[in-house]
Amino acid sequence: MRAVLWCNGRPPGQSIIDTVISDGVPVFGVDGGADIASEAGIEVGEVLGDLDSVRDSTWDGRTSEMPDQSASDLAKSLVLLIARGFDEIDVIGVDGGDPAHILGSWAAMNDAPSGAKIRIHHEGGVTTRAHPEDGEYSMEVGVGEAFSVFSLEPGNVWISGSKWEVSGDFLGLSTRGIHNEGIGGRVTISGEGVLAIIAMRDYSSS
């Protein structure tokens, strides 16, 4: 069961909207992201977050307030949707604004419980979360197609089927995972901690 979270950052380009938004898939606004989505002509079913930046009167009866200030609205929204049974969550509208928000979106993926494939769609690519409790992540990557793997939690990491393989090396958050390449075929990735996999396109349907 898939859902879309529309955040309160720079509005995503039309290509992202066309890729992510589809009939029958509910769209949730993350606080003020609901207003941005509505202005783009997208139907938003519910607004999630602390509701400090959304136009309250517009969304009467369609809000779930989560006032906890110890976590971001995106982090709280991911937890809520996973608890509701969504196992595939696409996040858009995270680019632009405070640079801390980009790292914060990765932190939200790291904080979220297992049980869902989480993808953050940027103008320049897609970040997919791989949680150790969800098993090995795999994707078909063409010859020379670039991807990067970052370890959000320290632990051993395995990457096979790529130009540069990793065989259980201990990795923390570092630059070692930047710019690996496909050799034409299936790449498998796993780690003892949460991983962020960045690619120029969404490989999840491969």
What pLDDT score was predicted for residue 189?
97
Low-confidence ranges of the chain (pLDDT < 50): 205-206
Reported in sequence order, the residue ranges of the chain that DSSP labels E, i.e. its strands, are: 2-6, 27-30, 46-49, 63-65, 88-92, 117-122, 125-130, 137-141, 146-151, 155-160, 166-171, 180-181, 185-191, 195-199
Read off the pLDDT of residues 115-146 as tens digits, 9 standing for 90 and up. 999 999 998 899 999 999 999 999 999 999 99
Antiparallel, parallel or unpaired: β 195-199 and 125-130: antiparallel
Q: Assign domain 2-123 to its CATH architecture.
A: 3-Layer(aba) Sandwich (3.40)
Half-sphere exposure of residue 122, counting CA atoms within 13 Å on the CB side? Answer: 16
Residue with the two structure tokens 């958050």:
173
Identify whether the C-beta of residue 185 lies closer than 8 Å to the C-beta of residue 161.
yes
Identify whether the C-beta of residue 166 lies closer than 8 Å to the C-beta of residue 188.
no
Find the DSSP H helices in the chain.
14-20, 33-39, 73-83, 100-111
DSSP state of 13: P
Q: How far, rounded to the nearest angstrom, does the alpha carbon of residue 11 sit from its chain's CA centroid? A: 16
Tell me the pTM.
0.92
- What letter represents residue 43's amino acid? E
What tokens does 103 get? 């790292």
Residue ranges covered by each domain of the chain:
2-123, 132-199
What pLDDT score was predicted for residue 113?
96
Sheet holding 137-141, edge to edge: 137-141, 185-191, 155-160, 166-171
Pairwise CA distance, residues 202 & 19, whole Å: 10
Read off the pLDDT of residues 95-106 as tens digits, 9 standing for 90 and up. 887 777 778 899
Pairwise CA distance, residues 180 & 144, whole Å: 9
| Polymer length in residues for the chain | 206
